[in-house]
Amino acid sequence: MSTDVAGLAAPRISKGKNIFLWLLQLIGAAVFFMSGFMKLSGNEQMVQMFDLIGIGQWFRYITGVIECASAILLLIPALSGLGALMLIPTMIGAIFTHLFIVGGSPALPIGLLTAMTIVAWGRKERTLRLINREMY
């Protein structure tokens, strides 16, 4: 087995599966970094959307930080599963927000939820080893 940057033995997966997961991770990182940056930079559309949500602008900042941090984690082999796991509840919240508050199609958050669930599942062995290593 090869070793990744965290010193964990990387699980053996097929080359095709690894390439597919990396494609999802790269696309996800780009989308979430762009979305998080828009939230953090005060993009007028994001400010208006979070006004409509009604929780407060602090929630826009928290969501932006989660998205940008997760985007970075998706690019780090040992932490990519953790980054995907952080985005799953974020996308569930986005789906419910589209369905019940702001309207519009929830297709993009559903697609991103699906992609991040696939990444989290595909990288689960590494994530579990990381968690177990930190606990002991």
- The model's pLDDT over 19-76, given as tens digits with 9 standing for 90+, comes to 999 999 999 999 999 999 999 999 999 999 999 999 999 999 999 999 999 999 999 9
Tokens of 29: 């990182």
In a domain, 4, yes or no: no
Task: Show the domain range for 73.
Answer: 15-135
Residue 111 lies in a domain: yes
In a domain, 8, yes or no: no
Instruction: With respect to residue 6, please indicate whether it lies within any of the assigned structural domains.
Output: no
Alpha helix ranges (H) inside the chain: 15-40, 44-53, 57-74, 80-97, 107-122, 124-135
Give the single-character DSSP code of 14. Answer: -
What is the tally of structural domains in the chain? Answer: 1
Q: What is the pTM of this model?
A: 0.86
